[in-house]
Structure 1
C-alpha cells in the first residue's frame, strides 16, 4: 500500500466523521439556503461549512495538494495529488431533512483516483476504497450483485437540474428503461447510488451531466467492488 495514499485515506476517514456529526446536529436547524444554477439547485450553509472545513485541513496537512470542490472550484497544487470533494452530495435531500445525503471525497494521483470515501452520516454508513485493496462498507468487504437479468434488477438514476429546459434530461431514457427492469430508484445522491451498486443493493445506475465531485469517489468504490463503469460522452 502506498504510504501517501494511506495517510490521506486515514485523514479523510477522520474528517468525514467530524463533518458528518456536525451536519446531522445542524440538520433540524433553520439553515440558510441559497439557489445556484437553477431554482432547484441548492446550497446550504452546511455545504459551505463542510467545504471550508476540508479546505482548511487539507491546506494544513497536505499544503502542496490540488483541490477541486463543488463549492470552491479548483485550486492548483504541486504534489501530483488532487482532492475531489462534494461536501454534501444530495443537498436538496439535506435541506428537506431526508437522510439520503453524503460527504464524497476522492484523492487522485497523477490523474488516477486512488482513494474514495463516501460517508452518509444520517444513515451511519461509510463506504471506502483504496485502489487495488477492495471496497468496504463500515469496514466489511462489499461486492456488486451477481444478478444479470434486467427483469430481476433494481436500477438507480437521476435527473439534471436543467431538466425543464434541456432536452438531454433523461426523461426519454427513463421511460424506456422502466419498462424493462424489476425496479427503479431515484435517491437524489449520485455518490450514494454508486455505493448501492458497489454494495450489491442496486444492479446498476446511470445519469447524465454529473460532475467529478459527484462520482469520483463512488466510481472507485464500484470498481473495487468488482463493478464496471461505462462512460458515454
Structure 2
C-alpha cells in the first residue's frame, strides 16, 4: 500500500486547481454530450490541468476522468485516480453554487483517498481509508437521527438519455415513497455533495439510483469514514459495480430500506440498462 497521507496531499493540491478555476473563470462554451447532458469548456480545461498535475506528481498511477470518454475502473487495477472536474455541471453553468471538484484514489476497486471541494460554499472535504472524514479540517460524523419522519433525504438527479422513461419510473416511485415518510426530500444535483452531506450530518440519507466512479468514489469514502453506511438497493455493501449508491446513518438503515426497497425492486427490470 502506498503512503496515503502523501497521496492525500497530492489530491488536495490537484482538486484545488479545479476549485480555483471554478471561482475565477466562466463556464465558456457549453456543448451537449447527450440528451440534456452537457459539458462546459471549463469542465474540460479543469480535467486537463488536474490530469497533468497528477501525471507529474504520480506518474505510476492511472487516471480516469468523466470528460472525454469517461469509462470504468477494472477492480484489478492497482491504483487509479477518478475525477469529476465539475460535479454539478448544470448547476455551475446556471450559476447555482451546488457544484464541486471531486477526486478519489481507488485501489483495486476500493476508494482509499477522497477530496471534494465545493468552492462557492467554502467547503473542503477529505477522507483517507481508516483515517476518518473531515470538513475544513474538522472531524465530521454522520447524523444520529433515529426517526425517518425527522430525516432530510436527498435524491439523485432524474435520468436523461437512453431509456430515461424506464429509469425514471424507479426514481418517481422512490421520490413518492420518501415524500410520504421523511421530513423533507431534496435534490442537490451533485452526487459528491449528496454523500458528503450525509457524512457531515447535514442530511440523514441519500438515494442515488446510479453509480459512476468519478461521481461517487470520493463521496462514498467520505461517508464511510464518517460512520455512515453506503450500500446498493439490496442493502449489500457498495461496490464500483453497484447499480445504485445509497448512503445513510446506521440508525435509519432498516427504515429507509423498508420505505424505498419495494419501489426500487418493483421497478427494477434485471434486463434494463444500468442507470446513469
Fold match (TM-score > 0.5): yes
Question: Which residue is 1:166 aligned to?
Answer: 165
Question: Which residue is 2:149 aligned to?
Answer: 151
Alignment of 1:29-108 (within 5 A): 29=26, 31-38=28-35, 40-72=36-68, 73=70, 80-108=78-106
Instruction: Give the drift of 1:163.
Output: 8.6
Question: Which residue is 2:18 aligned to?
Answer: 19
Question: Which residue is 2:232 aligned to?
Answer: 231
d(CA) in 1 for partners of 2:179, 2:72 = 41
Question: Which residue is 1:190 aligned to?
Answer: 191
Structure 1 stretch displaced more, 43-52 or 79-88: 79-88
Q: Secondary structure at the match of 2:53?
A: helix
Distance 1:172-1:75 versus aligned 2 partners, 3 A rule? closer
Question: Which residue is 1:207 aligned to?
Answer: 208
d(CA) in 2 for partners of 1:151, 1:131 = 32
Structure 1 stretch displaced more, 10-19 or 99-108: 10-19
What do residues 63-88 of structure 1 show as CA deviations (whole Å, max 9, x unaligned)? 12111110133599998211111000
Distance 1:137-1:187 versus aligned 2 partners, 3 A rule? same
d(CA) in 1 for partners of 2:78, 2:225 = 22
Question: Which residue is 2:264 aligned to?
Answer: none
Question: Which residue is 2:222 aligned to?
Answer: 221
Instruction: Give the drift of 1:21.
Output: 1.3
Alpha-carbon RMSD across the aligned residues, in angstroms, is 2.1
TM-score (norm 1): 0.92
d(CA) in 2 for partners of 1:147, 1:3 = 36
Moved over 4 A (4+): 74-79
Question: Which residue is 2:112 aligned to?
Answer: 114
Instruction: Give the drift of 1:106.
Output: 0.5
d(CA) in 1 for partners of 2:211, 2:108 = 22
d(CA) in 1 for partners of 2:206, 2:227 = 15
d(CA) in 1 for partners of 2:87, 2:155 = 14
Question: Which residue is 1:9 aligned to?
Answer: 8
Question: Which residue is 1:175 aligned to?
Answer: 176
Alignment of 1:131-150 (within 5 A): 131-150=129-148
CA contact under 8 A between 2:18 and 2:86: conserved in structure 1?
Answer: no
5+ residue gaps, structure 2, are 234-242, 244-276
CA contact under 8 A between 1:51 and 1:71: conserved in structure 2?
Answer: yes
Instruction: Give the drift of 1:195.
Output: 0.5
**Count of aligned pairs:** 229
